[in-house]
């Protein structure tokens, strides 16, 4: 039994002075941004690796010690192998990314702005979406050989899908009231696209871009392990045949850095481009 003690309200007594020390933030929001949060997790993992290697818990044949990896990285940089491989890989990924983003964006705009475009484009893209880009590689190798075009196109195909899906979604999500407004101020088609459609679809596009960057790296890793004669993937494959875990780790670290840097760039663009948005993230 709950005994509810109903106390008589104290009337006429000034209550104790309570200093209101509220943290100025949204009660149900994630709270203020903590600087450098992106790096806390990775740094923790690195510390764990150093400790495990130093205490001998981690066998060097399984995974090289961090300092050996650092030495190897210095050596690979000094003899020019790493910069060359990195340049090749970054170029591949960037080219595939640019082509994929361009094509995905154009397809999304055509499909989002006209019903005919939607009828022609949306179906095939949805079908393509169901087939993983990497599953198309055997066909692409048959058509294009094992050279650069095959690699770049495989990456582009992996990029195109998230760009298309999220941009198209963003376009369709634009409030129709803005289209009405555009009619009342007699905006032409071009100005309507520039002032309403593109900015309205930008949040969706940038979300798509984040997925696209990850897809580009994923595709990069796979295409570089198939018959590659250059690039980070080639370096790793070679090291694998000779059992050089330190080189493999250097390659992996480079991949990771590529991913983090690319994601960081997209996040930065996102914050700049979406300054108008009052979201939970900015408060």
Partner 1 sequence: MATHAGESLKETAVRVEGLHRSFSEAGGVLNGLDLTIEAGEFVALIGRSGSGKSTLLRALAGLDRAVAGSGVVEVPERVSVVFQDSRLLPWRRVLDNVILGLGGSDARTRGFEALSEVGLEGRDQAWPHHLSGGEQQRAALARSLVRDPQLLLADEPFGALDALTRIKMHKLLKKLYAAHNPAILLVTHDVDEAIALADRVIVLVDGVVGSDIRIDLGSKRSPGDPRFASLRAQLLAELGVVDSADSADSADSVEEEVA
**Biggest alpha carbon–alpha carbon distance for the chain:** 90
Angle at the Cα of 140 from the Cα atoms of 229 and 219, rounded to 5 degrees: 60
Local structure of 217: helix, strand or coil: helix
Nearer to partner 1, 19 or 184 (CB): 184
* Sole residue written with tokens 């298309």: 164
Q: For residues 90 and 92, give the distance between their C-alpha atoms in angstroms, rounded to a whole number.
A: 5
Interaction between residue 176 and partner 1 (CB under 8 A): no
Q: Residue 129 and residue 160: Cα distance in Å, rounded?
A: 9
Q: Is 177 in the site for partner 1 (CB under 8 A)?
A: yes
Task: Restricting to residues 188-247, name those near partner 1 by CB under 8 A.
Answer: 188, 191, 195-196, 199-200, 202
Q: Which helix (H) or strand (E) holds 181?
A: helix 176-184
- Residue 183 binds partner 1 (CB under 8 A): yes
Other beta carbons less than 10 A from residue 37's beta carbon: 8
Minimum gap (Å) between residue 49 Cβ and partner 1? 44
Report in angstroms how near the CB of residue 202 gets to partner 1 at its nearest. Answer: 7
Shortest distance in whole angstroms from residue 268 CB to partner 1? 18
Tokens at 41, concatenated: 């997790």
The yes or no reply on residue 187 touching partner 1 (CB under 8 A) is yes
- Rounded Cα distance between 149 and 112, Å, is 29
Question: Can residue 135 be called a binding residue for partner 1 (CB under 8 A)?
Answer: no
- Contact flag: residue 139 with partner 1 (CB under 8 A): no
CB 107 within 8 A of CB 162: no
Select 61 or 278, whichever has its Cβ closest to partner 1: 278
Binding-residue total with partner 1 (CB under 8 A):
21
276 contacts partner 1 (rule: CB under 8 A):
yes
User: Which of residues 156 and 206 has its CB atom nearest to partner 1 in the complex?
Assistant: 206
Q: Helix 115-130 and helix 148-172: axis angle, to 10°?
A: 130
Please count the other Cβ atoms lying within 10 Å of the Cβ belonging to residue 36: 8
Determine the Cα–Cα distance for residues 234 and 81; give it in Å rounded to an integer: 11
Q: Which of 4, 176, 186, 241 binds partner 1 (CB under 8 A)?
A: 186
Map residue 80 onto helix, strand or coil: coil
Residue 136 CB, nearest distance to partner 1 (Å)?
Answer: 37
CB 209 to partner 1: min, Å: 17
Q: With contact defined as beta carbons under 8 Å apart, do 121 and 111 qualify? A: yes
> Nearer to partner 1 by C-beta: 37 or 184?
184
Question: 55 or 184: whose CB is closer to partner 1?
Answer: 184
Shortest Å distance, C-beta 182 to partner 1: 7
Residue from 19, 184, 229, 241 touching partner 1 (CB under 8 A): that is 184
Q: Interface residues with partner 1 (CB under 8 A)?
A: 177-178, 180-188, 191, 195-196, 199-200, 202, 275-278
């Amino acid at each position: 039994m709950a005994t509810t003690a109903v106390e008589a309200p104290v009337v006429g007594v000034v209550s104790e002075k309570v200093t209101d020390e509220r943290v100025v933030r949204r009660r149900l929001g994630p709270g203020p941004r903590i600087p450098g949060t992106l790096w806390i997790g990775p740094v923790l993992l690195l510390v764990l690796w150093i400790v495990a290697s130093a205490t001998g818990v981690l066998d060097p044949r399984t995974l090289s010690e961090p300092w050996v990896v650092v030495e190897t990285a210095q050596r690979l940089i000094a003899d020019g192998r790493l910069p060359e491989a990195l340049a090749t890989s970054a170029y591949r990924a960037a080219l595939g990314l640019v082509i994929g983003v361009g094509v995905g964006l154009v397809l999304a705009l055509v499909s989002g702005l006209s019903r005919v475009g939607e009828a022609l484009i949306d179906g095939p893209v949805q079908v393509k979406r169901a087939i993983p880009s990497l599953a198309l590689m055997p066909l692409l190798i048959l058509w294009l050989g094992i050279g650069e075009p095959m690699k770049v196109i495989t990456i582009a195909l992996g990029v195109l899908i998230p760009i298309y899906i999220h941009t198209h979604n963003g376009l369709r999500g634009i409030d129709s009231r803005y289209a009405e407004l555009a009619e009342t101020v007699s905006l032409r088609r071009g100005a309507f696209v520039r002032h309403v459609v593109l900015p309205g679809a930008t949040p969706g596009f940038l979300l798509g871009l984040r997925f696209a960057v990850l897809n580009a790296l994923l595709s990069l890793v796979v295409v570089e392990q198939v018959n590659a004669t250059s690039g980070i993937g080639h370096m790793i494959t070679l090291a694998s045949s000779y059992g050089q875990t330190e080189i493999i780790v250097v390659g992996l670290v480079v991949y990771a850095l590529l991913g983090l840097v690319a994601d960081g760039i997209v996040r930065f663009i996102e914050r700049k481009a979406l300054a108008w948005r009052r979201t939970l993230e900015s408060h």
